[in-house]
Chains A and B, each alone.
Chain A
Amino acid sequence: MNKILGIDCSPHVNKSVLELLGGKVSIHNDPFQEGMSLNGYEMVILEAGRDQQYNVQQIRSLRYASNFRYLPIILVRSTGNHIPSQVYIMAGATEVLTLSDSPHACGQILNGYLIPNRKPLQEEWEYLTPFVKNTCNVLETMASLRAEFEDVYFSNGIKMFGDVSGIMGLSGNAEGTLVVTFYWNLAQKVIAKMMGIEEDKLDAELIHDGVSEIINMISGSTKREFVGTPYHFEITLPSVVVGSGHQIGHVHDTAIAVLIFRVDSQYFSLYVSIKPKTTT
């Protein structure tokens, strides 16, 4: 039975969600709190209140608490209104459902998100493993930090919910996108260690240089391992982006792997979307 966390959900929303999912889930209800634990839940249902700003804040907070792991956050509205769901999606909601929409569609969407995630195929591990190894190596050698690979899942888009992200376009034989995204505290810690200075001395230039260097090193070292394989790519100029809730396009018909790493008790993620020129 799937475990769902219902946040600020009215009895009406609880009942509706249970009906949509055919009663095959257990919903645990809690009021919203900053920093609430989401461990053990496979989905979060948040009922939209009248205060849009507060809902956006709640979603941001929940997305942060998910620590980059796969956790569908579904905002449920009792009735449709004029506020576009994009506002909530960019704050970190996975889906915004309105109970006045087709119940069958809502049920299928919720069911879809509850279906177990797939593991990478053998051929996907072939290109993901070097990224995992080199990401850990880069943090070890550049910042003397031990990064552990925690998990991988596949996403339907490159949506960056970290505070600072480094983006590298891949071109050449294989094309794609590589994105590393950190929460602010970990970014500061890593960059300060890389640069050998105190965290409070970091400025925009150092952050830019540090994140650029990390994504450059990860892609550069992995690129060398792919020489002579269908995954061999060329790297472009890295871009560094601040703020959460950015989404970038990706190569059509290509899987987007989200690799999650842990440094002590903090997390960061690496998006890998790569399409070899010739598919087999």
Chain B
Amino acid sequence: MHHNTYILLINRDKRVLETTHSTLCKAGYLVLKATDTDDALCLLNAIRIGLIICDNALRDSTGREFLTILKKDPLLLSIPFIFFVPVNDRERASEAFAIGASDFIVHPLDDKILIERIREIMPLGPGMHHDTTIQAGEDTALPETSGKVILERDDRRESERKCPLASVHIEISRDGVLWMPGQLQNINRQGIFAETSLLGKPGSVLHIKILLSDEIRILKGSIKHITFSNPQHPTGIGIEIEETQDWRDAHEMLAALMRTEDPEAMDIKDLQTDLGTHDSINTIILPYHKQKMPDPSPLLNDVGMMSEETLDVRFYHSLVGKQLGNYKAVSFIGAGTMGGVFKGWDVALERTVALKVISYKLSSHETFRNMFIKEARTISQLNHPNIAHIYYIGNMNEIIFFAMEFIHGKTLADLIKEYHNLDISRGLQYFITVCLTLDFVSKKNIIHRDVKPENIMITDKGMLKVVDFGVAKITDGRTREINSDGIVGSPLYISPDCIKGHSVDCRSDIYSLGATFYHAFSGSPPFEGKDTEDVLRKHLHENPVPLQQINPHISHGLSMIIRKMMDKEPENRYQNYQSIIDDLEPLMAGNTKFH
């Protein structure tokens, strides 16, 4: 628990509030006060609260109602909640347990006993001073209800108190594939007690992952007992863990965590703190099919999915399962800088297509929208075996999309990922084929403007296809086209002329093609940076590390061809594709002999 975590005291009776506040402050705690639920919720939203002590009588509501609200809130439900119960009203305590209270304290209560009880639940952190010597207990026993399913929670004061272990992240699984998050409540040498949404029954075998700072322990155990009240609350399960060295080590660390006055000093990763939120049982996205049991990948590696997705991705997600004109969006394949791609189905012609939906950023410019539609129609007439055909361009509810040939295969980007860099002979073949294809394109006065490894595909039958002419531009073939659309292209491969907003022609594509094959032969793009601006700056002002230095198998000739293609000045680059092909072909012949 964080050392500057507060206790929140809520009581309608200001006299009791002041007395308790003073007692806890003297004991070294940081304490906040509230007399009603409104004030309490404001404090909960603004300040890290580690423990709530609440009376049933509040100014605007009851403590029970307040607890019910908290338990429905994924951000707040994990905060331990102690009920203040008058000595003549103990009945209310068991009711409170049923809705998720961690403990109750009967008042009036001797100060010393109060502090002892609080210390058990919330030991003092290093930033708090100590004026008592009471230490947190260790190895509180698991409830002895072996083999029983408890539907109503009884008084759990001695057995199931919340403790610093709540900050240790665990996951629980039945099958070793689907992992449910859990909150560790207690430990002893035989096993653990945790809250989770995973339901089971006594005897069921479970896998338990415990996330430590630098490793994951995967343990095996079986359910000893279950507490379950209703589906709105997590299930409490006592798990007996198999006696192994792994468990002994994990237990030692967890027990130390309970003993220590500075839980953070123990090497336990507090994921909740890292995430800046109290992730609760219901809010975790579960990585199914992505996380195999033997793979010690970081727990919750999909937490990224929980962060705010970009508006673009959210827009593409809104189209999953929709029908745009004659085209059904069957499944989402991925998002690029220019748009999102779906596997689609052409209802009229009954064939699979790739559906590309244009990013809202591009389609929000009217000039771009008009130009895009006009030019896509022209490009759809390109007839070349190495070009994925555009079948249709449409606009539905202001959403611009086009349907193109669906290619079963891999992108050049996939191959780079798979092999790190390309076999030189095979790479040269691809290189020449793309040059021939873009030569055909440029002779039709078209600039692709988004040449990159993701837009070069190799089909299952080994055929190369240049795809995605979604941002292509038609020139008049005489004057160089002014780049009036702003920066169009992918930052890792974009030409300096395009970044500067200068006129562009096929030499801009030649630069991007050079950058693409630099990546293919070296395994990394020519420029990387901390952000897009940094990468663009390098395209403008820095020279890439010579290819031969990164991959010594590359010939000097090939390294020089790519260097020339990537010259900052269009005038110093190859002026057309044929001259690149002329230089590449002798290398190809040499490589064929070599291999």
Chain A positions near chain B (C-beta within 8 angstroms): 22, 51-53, 56-57, 60, 72, 83-87, 90-91, 95, 101-102, 104-119, 121, 153-158, 163-164, 167, 169, 175, 177, 184, 203-205, 207-209, 211, 236-251, 253-255, 279
Q: Which residues of A contact B178 (CB under 8 A)?
A: 167, 169, 239, 248
Does B560 sit within 8 A of A, measured CB to CB?
no
Partner of A250, one of B69, B288, B318, B322: B288
Do A204 and B226 touch across chains, with their CB atoms under 8 A apart? yes
Can you name 13 A-B residue pairings with CB atoms under 8 Å? A51-B41, A72-B318, A109-B318, A121-B328, A121-B330, A155-B320, A167-B178, A169-B175, A169-B177, A203-B151, A242-B234, A249-B286, A249-B287
Residues B201 and A204 in contact, CB atoms below 8 Å apart: yes
Q: B399 touches which one: A112, A116, A175, A211 (CB < 8 A)?
A: A112
Contact among B202, B282, B398 for A243, CB-based, below 8 A: B282
Minimum CB–CB distance for A111 against chain B, Å: 4
Contact yes or no, B315 A154, CB < 8 A: no
Q: Is the interface of A mostly helix, strand, loop or mixed?
A: mixed
Q: How far is B201's CA from A211's CA once the two chains are assembled, in angstroms?
A: 12
In angstroms, Cα B302 to Cα A167, docked, is 19
Q: Could you tell me if A115 and B283 are in contact, using CB atoms closer than 8 angstroms?
A: no
- List of A residues within 8 angstroms of B41 by Cβ: 51, 53
**Given A154-B321, A255-B331, are A84 and B290 also a contact pair (CB < 8 Å)?**
no
**Number of chain B interface residues as a range:** 35 or more
Q: Which of B281-323 contact A (CB under 8 A)?
A: 281-283, 285-290, 302, 306-308, 311-312, 314-315, 317-323
Contacting B364 at CB < 8 Å: which of A87, A104, A153, A204?
A104
**A204–B320 CA distance with the chains assembled, in angstroms:** 36
Whether B541 sits at the interface, judged by CB under 8 Å, is no
| In the complex, B184 has a CB within 8 A of chain A | no
- With a cutoff of 8 Å between Cβ atoms, the chain B residues found around residue A102 in the complex are 311, 360-361, 364
Q: Assess whether B480 is interfacial by the CB under 8 Å rule.
A: no
Closest 4 CB pairs of A and B: A154-B321, A112-B318, A204-B228, A156-B320
On whether the beta carbons of B45 and A52 are closer than 8 Å, the reply is yes
Among B72-80, B481-489, B523-531, the one that faces the other chain is B72-80
B residues near A237, Cβ cutoff 8 Å: 174-175
If A84-B307, A90-B74, A241-B199 are given as contacts, then 19 extra A-B residue pairs at C-beta distance below 8 Å, sorted by A number, are A84-B308, A104-B361, A104-B363, A105-B315, A105-B360, A108-B360, A117-B323, A118-B323, A154-B320, A156-B317, A184-B231, A203-B149, A205-B202, A208-B200, A211-B199, A239-B178, A246-B282, A246-B286, A247-B286
Which residues of chain B from 73 to 105 have a CB within 8 Å of any chain A CB?
73-75
Output the least CB separation between B410 and chain A (Å): 13
Query: CA separation between A119 and B175, bound complex, in Å?
Result: 33
In the assembly, what is the distance between CA of A84 and CA of B277, in Å? 9
Distance from A193 Cβ to chain B, minimum over Cβ atoms (Å)? 19
Does A249 lie within 8 Å of B289, measured CB to CB?
A: yes
CB within 8 Å for A240 and B332 given contacts A84-B308, A204-B151: no
B182-211 toward A: CB 8 Å interface, digit per residue (1/0)? Answer: 000000000000000111111000000000
Contacts A95-B314, A104-B360, A204-B151 given; indicate if A118 touches B328 (C-beta within 8 A). Answer: yes
User: What is the bound-complex CA distance between A5 and B173, given in angstroms?
Assistant: 40
| Residues of chain A contacted by B232 (CB below 8 angstroms) | 163, 243
Closest Cβ of chain A to B178, distance in Å, is 5
A22 near B398: Cβ-Cβ < 8 Å: yes
Is B324 engaged at the interface, CB distance under 8 Å to the other chain? Answer: yes
Please state if B174 and A239 are interface contacts (CB–CB under 8 Å): yes
Chain A nearest CB: distance from B365 CB in Å?
Answer: 9
Q: How far is the CB of B340 from chain A (nearest CB, A)?
A: 10
| Chain A contacts for B69, CB-based, 8 A | 53
* B286 CB to nearest A CB, Å: 4
Q: Given A204-B235, A239-B174, A240-B200, are A248 and B398 neighbors across the interface (CB < 8 Å)?
A: no
- Chain B residue numbers with a CB within 8 Å of A60 are 72
Which chain A residues lie closer than 8 Å to B329 at the CB level? 118
Contact between B174 and A238 (Cβ–Cβ < 8 Å)? Answer: yes
- Name the residue on B nearest A162 (C-beta): B231
